[in-house]
Chains A and B, each alone.
Chain A
């Protein structure tokens, strides 16, 4: 601990950023290890940087093949990468590097095995390098400490791999000096490593396997192409690694392109961006990796060598040097990050780099000292971390832990990067970061939350989500102890990082911001405040998110500055007019970017794409999303789709996490996890130390908060915009409506949970979170109520307030099914509806027109909640009209409404309609139970009613199949009962004829049939006119013939039904007016008539 602490402290100064993340575990360990490397302070720094870079690189690389290319170029770096990978691998499983580390973790996981193999490879491959570099590099990676540590942790689990990589790493740390050599290789290795590391780190969580593979390939990895894959990783692995990786990658991608090319500047931006993405996706690891990757990638070759320390390039070079980079990367990253942040914030990569270098050396120094620790601590830390991870991963929790550690380290890096103070902070962050990340939520939360909040939140959040729970636990367990010590550093670092992130955030934050920033923002904000505009404590999370988003858009430092200035103004203004807290920052439209904005955006996006293109190629949109909260989701999706292992890993993590994790997992699974993760991280940060579970809730809350905040301020459209912006910020690339929908859906899943937890959360406002978003987006004013904290159930909605008072004066109105809240301007008030009803009564137009009009009247009545005599009249009118034309569908609608209206005591033609109801049940539903209940419900009064009596008689006739009775009743039916019976006549006649042809022999006169079956209105012997009889007779003959009856003429020329012959030949003909679609009302002519109305 002492060492660690010392290291952390030293590191902290040097690599504030890294410190935070790595701090906890890695920091101490990593730092120590790093420090040794640092001996080549540079190396150390590199290692750190590399770690960071690696992470960034990973991120970038993954995203962009470029990283891979870098990796390739610097395949040696791969070793670094391995380191990074180790670190990364842990997260993602990553593949090779991580693999080793990760592999262990992963081993724990299903995927781990692979990673372990990779590790083996990596180690072996590394060995080559290691021989020269490998160990160093590996060590470096390890040094990347965070990664390494993670690795170590994983190593601990997987001694072999770890031993190689980790040991190498450790040794490398010590050796880090070697880094120089590493640098060369490192570069490649770094790149790869970075990638891998990033990926691994990032991925470690989920990706770990891939990473592991990558790492394995690393030295070997690079060969493996797996590193390339890492690039791809970013895509797959990183993604798979879970959101984290993806995020990293994505960010990385962005980073790489811009970051690399810009190296310093870009880095800063890129790193930020990367970080953010990474953070988001991979959480810090990813981001860091991404940043690293970008840094490493582009920089590695040139930058690193050239600027090495100064810029990411420096980092890369360092990384190269480094394998150390991995660890160094972390530091470096932190440095770079710092530098980056600075650049990002200020623009000066060079500055940052310059800063970074210094910081690095110092940090490294500490690290070197700590390196030992790191090695040692790593074990402990790792073990702890691993434990935590394992817990997360459950089985492979240790591995996971390691991976988490790595991720964290990466994260720290990112944070570090983001944070300017970074190096120190990073270191702290690293130590913490590891702890945090791994331990995760707890440590991270603490350190990260504040610092990382912005950046970390994003990246971390995601990690936090998954890892956090476990991490937190782990952290709490192992690292936490250290954390406290580190914590201060970390926290500081984190805060700083946050600040950085916020400032840098401009660049980085954007991505990060959206998710965790809000929460982090608050915490971070205070920290950040120093950095930029946002003061952690004082500003709403959503505001932070907003700032991050805004800053994320900024490609260049210039933009960042401009944005920051602009936002400062904005915030000051908001503070002045008191809207700071009431405004929905989440939905607040982003102001147009100053000048560079477009460029910045492009650079960010493009950078991510470019660097991460490979990744993006797979799922560009997703990735872009993944960067932000969405990204995780996307990643999950992608991962799930592409990398089951990753998901599996995550799942493993989740499982491992169980309680705490479960929540997270759930989130992850939902994709919202990212959000939640982000949120969680904040929560974790806040609560991290407390319970893992709590973190989850907190995250949710945080989400809710964010959402709530967003929601609060904005209108629906704003909300949507905010949503899009939110996502877009997170996911610049993919803002397609589909994705949004998905996100909304995802977020909806959590809404309930969030809502529940919201109240518990800090501020009710935040409660809403993503869910709220979705709802709000979808929605009604109602959604606002959700903000209140405790999510309200639908039944709590005040429908009264939603009741519309119509203002429309038009009497005629076409019916249109409502798909949204009614517009009072198109709803007619009661007086107008009365006129409309009269109009329908007096109309000469056909039923379809009337039906349409009546339906619109009914609708207007319903939305205005008018239930009185008019309502009854409208429904009765419609029911009668429907009966006249035999429209049972509409009739039933009206009947059921009338039933409740009558039950409410509203006057109407109750008897008539209960008779209709009875008839309808008897004749058309053929449900004895319904019939019985209808009958038993008839009052005595009703039974005396003629209409009801008739209906009951009809019922008796039908149930006894007494056709004679039925047709007598048919002729005497009152009101519209005839219409209802009409619908049953055909059936009854057929039954009757079947019966008669069976029981009569030899013949029956058709005249008798016609009389009995109602064809002849009056009985022959009664008065009835002959004409009518003959008409009826003819009709009967036609009917009988149509039904296959066999008719013969007897001696007198009278038509007879040959019953025996008919018995076998009767059939029910197809109705003449039958239409293919089953509803004659939909006949073309009618349809045209209707449409022409």
Chain B
């Protein structure tokens, strides 16, 4: 009582009863919005927080639930939800998650029986809460030296929810939301291979056009699938999906746009399209600024430095390897610069670039590379069609084609 001054037993009872009434009203009126509110544990709404306090005072809420005809049929939902709230309020996220999952499970059972999809919103809330709670519970677990496993459990629970929604009928609209929550879980867990089955069921379903899903979910879905394509280094597909997400997302949600750009920019870079500086600045993607700069200048040192500097970030977001592959474009740019300089000096011999010149240029960039290495890189540039021409080993000269010696990528990925 001391912890909750000002709340009497009667008050606690009143609050609990009010919640119960609101819950049963929401269900009987099929008021998804209210239900959603009542289920949104992590919203920290004053109503729920005070309810949690009330529950901690009035310990026998189970009896209240069971002894009323209105709520008793939802006793599995409510009882566990109360427990979850209680423990959530007390900061015991592990128990809170456990109870919430039970509650959600019971809710799913009910949801399954509801013909219409009216409760989708509430289900969304549930899916969201379960993920968020799981993440927080895992954080707690990890800090206590235990193995964080709740997110995994949330993943399998969400998979179950997906199963409830993925069939035919009006509930299918909700499938994409759950899919997106699953993506979040899987990406967080690093088990993105699990996404495949969900994606397949979304993309192969002929009965439901993808465009019929809510826009919000479509954008999220495209964002995550685009990221998956980045992992696969399938740049054109990644470009498509991420561009879709970018063009359809809410333009005022800058954080979302930033997240999309974080992947779209490397993808665009690797197909030879450079962003404007203002874009990077507007969305605070300065880590890419040096990379872009290096590409413009052919400055290998700058690129390597940028990669090293942001290695952790790039590794975590999964674009490191993509950016690293930009090296070849930087080399191309460097050779092109040399070629342009030579052309200014002596147009007749401009198409012959001596290897030692390149080595010297690299040295100037503090890149300590011997001739063999540079020769290898020139060979690769030619092989990848970033440079047109050939390499004469005997004379150690790169002989450039007289026509378009440095073809642009123009949205096509580098040959591999």
Chosen A-B contacts, 9 in total, with CB atoms closer than 8 Å, are: A932-B318, A959-B325, A996-B379, A999-B380, A999-B382, A999-B391, A1000-B392, A1003-B393, A1005-B393
Chain A residue at smallest Cβ distance from B316: A936
Residue-wise, chain B 361-380 has the 8 Å CB interface mask toward A (1 for contact) of: 00000000000110111111
What 0/1 pattern do residues 945 to 966 of A give for CB contact below 8 A with B?
0000000000010011111110
CA distance A1008 to B396 in the complex (A): 12
Taking A928-B321, A932-B315, A960-B327 as contacts, is the C-beta distance between A1001 and B390 under 8 angstroms?
yes
Q: Is B233 close to A, CB under 8 A?
A: yes
**C-alpha spacing A280/B328, complex, angstroms:** 79
A688 at the interface (CB under 8 A from B): no
Please state if B320 and A962 are interface contacts (CB–CB under 8 Å).
no
**Chain B residues, Cβ within 8 Å of A1000:** 379, 390-393
B residues neighboring A (CB under 8 Å): 190, 192-193, 231-233, 312, 315-316, 318, 320-321, 324-325, 327-328, 372-373, 375-383, 390-394, 399
Report the separation of the CA atoms of residues A999 and B398 in the bound assembly, to the nearest whole angstrom. Answer: 9
From residue A1040, how far is it (CB to closest CB) to chain B in Å?
A: 15
Q: Is the Cβ of A936 less than 8 Å from the Cβ of B315?
A: yes
> Given contacts A959-B325, A1004-B393, is CB(A929)–CB(B376) below 8 Å?
no
**By the criterion CB–CB under 8 Å, are A960 and B382 in contact?**
no
Residues of B within 8 A of A995 (CB): 379-380, 383
Residue of B nearest to A999 (CB): B382
Instruction: Please tell me if the beta carbons of B373 and A960 are within 8 angstroms of each other in the complex.
Output: no
Interface contact A962-B380, CB-CB below 8 Å: yes
A1064 within 8 A of B: no
Question: Are B390's CB and A933's CB within 8 A?
Answer: no
A contact residues around B316 at 8 Å (CB): 936
Report the minimal beta-carbon distance from B31 to chain A, rounded to whole angstroms. Answer: 32
Q: Which residues of B contact A234 (CB under 8 A)?
A: none
A476: shortest Cβ distance to chain B, in Å? Answer: 25
The CA of A961 and the CA of B190, in the complex, are separated in Å by: 27
Give bound CA distance, A593 to B399, whole Å: 102
A999 to B372, CA, bound (A): 14
Closest A residue to B318 using CB positions = A932
Bound form: Cα–Cα A932–B383 in Å: 26
- Complex Cα distance, B376 from A1008, in Å, reads 12
B391–A962 CB distance below 8 A:
no
**Which of B192, B320, B383 is in CB contact (< 8 Å) with A935?**
B320
Cβ contacts under 8 Å, B382 to chain A: 998-999
**A1004–B383 alpha-carbon span in the complex (Å):** 15
Contact with B along A236-270 (1 / 0, CB 8 A): 00000000000000000000000000000000000
- Chain A residue numbers with a CB within 8 Å of B231 are 928-929, 932
Q: Shortest CB–CB separation between residue A962 and chain B, in angstroms?
A: 6
Report whether A935 and B315 are in contact in the complex, using a CB–CB cutoff of 8 Å: yes
Tell whether A1012 pairs with B372 under 8 Å between CB atoms, given A935-B315, A995-B383, A999-B390: yes
Q: How far is the CA of A960 from the CA of B377 in the complex (A)?
A: 9
Q: Which residue of chain A lies nearest to B382 when distances are taken between CB atoms in the complex?
A: A999
Q: Is A931 an interface residue (CB 8 A)?
A: yes
Q: Give the chain B neighbours of A935 by CB distance below 8 A.
A: 315, 320
Given the known inter-chain contacts A928-B232, A932-B318, A1012-B376, please indicate yes or no for A1001 contacting B324, CB distance below 8 A.
no
Least CB distance, A46 to chain B, in whole angstroms? 54
**Residues from 1028 to 1052 in A contacting B, C-beta threshold 8 Å:** none
Chain B residues, CB < 8 A from A994: 383
Bound-state Cα–Cα, A843 to B60, Å? 70
Q: Which of A998-1017 contact B (CB under 8 A)?
A: 998-1005, 1008, 1012
Q: Give how many A-B residue pairs fall within 8 Å (CB-CB).
A: 73
Tell me the dominant secondary structure on chain B's binding face: helix
Query: Among B192, B324, B390, which residue has the most Cβ atoms of chain A within 10 A?
Result: B390
Pair A1001/B321 contact, Cβ less than 8 Å: no
Beyond the given A962-B377, A962-B380, could you list 18 further A-B residue pairs with CB under 8 A, ordered by the A residue number? A928-B233, A928-B321, A929-B192, A929-B193, A929-B318, A935-B320, A936-B312, A959-B321, A960-B328, A960-B380, A994-B383, A998-B383, A999-B379, A1000-B379, A1000-B392, A1001-B390, A1001-B392, A1002-B392
**A964 and B372 in contact, given A929-B192, A959-B321, A999-B390 (Cβ under 8 angstroms):** yes
Interface of A is mostly: helix
Q: Which residues of B lie under 8 Å from residue A932 when comparing CB positions?
A: 231, 315, 318, 320-321
The distance in angstroms between the C-alpha atoms of A931 and B233, with both chains bound, is 13
Task: Give the chain A neighbours of B379 by CB distance below 8 A.
Answer: 995-996, 999-1000
Q: How far is the CB of A993 from chain B (nearest CB, A)?
A: 11
Contacts of A998 in B (CB 8 A): 382-383
Within 8 A of B (CB), among A216-235: none
**A994 to B384 CA separation, bound complex (whole angstroms):** 11
- Knowing A929-B231, A936-B316, A998-B383, say if A960 contacts B324 (CB, 8 Å): yes
In the assembled complex, how far is the CB of residue B156 from the closest CB belonging to chain A, in whole angstroms?
14
CB distance from B315 to the nearest CB of A (A): 4
Query: Is A962 within 8 A of B321, CB to CB?
Result: no
Count chain B CB atoms within 10 A of each CB in A936, A965, A999 and give the residue with the most: A999
Contacts of B378 in A (CB 8 A): 999
Contact A964 B373 (CB under 8 A): yes
Closest residue of B by beta carbon distance from A1050:
B394
Q: How far is the CA of A15 from the CA of B314 in the complex (A)?
A: 88
Q: Could you tell me if A965 and B318 are in contact, using CB atoms closer than 8 angstroms?
A: no
Contact between B376 and A965, CB atoms less than 8 A apart: yes
CB of B329, distance to nearest CB on chain A (Å): 12
Residues of the B chain whose Cβ atoms lie less than 8 Å from the Cβ of A961? 380
- In this complex, the member of B190, B312, B325, B372 whose beta carbon has the largest number of chain A beta carbons within 10 angstroms is B372
| Bound Cα distance from A1001 to B390, whole angstroms | 6
B231 nearest in chain A by CB position? A929
A932 to B394, CA, bound (A): 40
- Could you tell me the distance between the alpha carbons of A998 and B391 in the complex, rounded to whole angstroms? 9
A113-148, CB < 8 A from B: none
**Chain A hits for B373, CB < 8 A:** 962, 964-965
Residue pair B324, A933 in contact (C-beta under 8 Å): no
CB-defined interface of A922-941 with B at 8 Å, one 1/0 digit per residue?
00000011011101100000
Given contacts A932-B320, A936-B316, A998-B382, contact A962 B376 (CB under 8 A): yes
- Looking at A929, A931, A1003, the one whose CB has the most chain B CB atoms below 10 A away is A929
Which of chain B's residues have a CB closer than 8 A to the CB of A1003? 393-394
* Residues in A971-999 with C-beta less than 8 Å from chain B: 994-996, 998-999
* Smallest Cβ-Cβ distance to B370: which chain A residue: A964
Residue of A932, A959, A962, A1005 with most partner-chain B CB within 10 A: A932
| C-alpha gap A1002/B399 in the complex (Å) | 12
B interface footprint on A265-308 (CB within 8 Å = 1, 0 otherwise): 00000000000000000000000000000000000000000000
Within 8 A of B (CB), among A1012-1026: 1012
Distance A32 CA – B136 CA, assembled complex (angstroms): 74
Per the bound structure, the CA–CA distance linking A1070 and B230 in Å amounts to 34
How far is B225's CA from A88's CA once the two chains are assembled, in angstroms? 63
Q: CB-CB < 8 A to B321: which residues of A?
A: 928, 931-932, 959
B320 touches A959 (CB 8 A): no
B371's nearest neighbour on chain A, judged by CB, is: A964
Chain A residue with minimal CB distance to B390?
A1001
A402 to B320, CA, bound (A): 76
A1002 to B397, CA, bound (A): 12
Judge whether A956 and B324 touch: CB under 8 Å: yes
Task: Point out which of B318, B320, B379 has the most chain A C-beta atoms below 10 A from its C-beta.
Answer: B379
- Min C-beta distance of A189 to chain B, whole Å: 52
- A964 near B376 with CB under 8 A, answer yes
Q: How far is the CB of A935 from chain B (nearest CB, A)?
A: 6
From A936, A959, A964, A999, B324 is in contact (CB under 8 Å) with: A959
B346, chain A: closest CB distance, angstroms: 22
- CA separation between A929 and B233, bound complex, in Å? 10
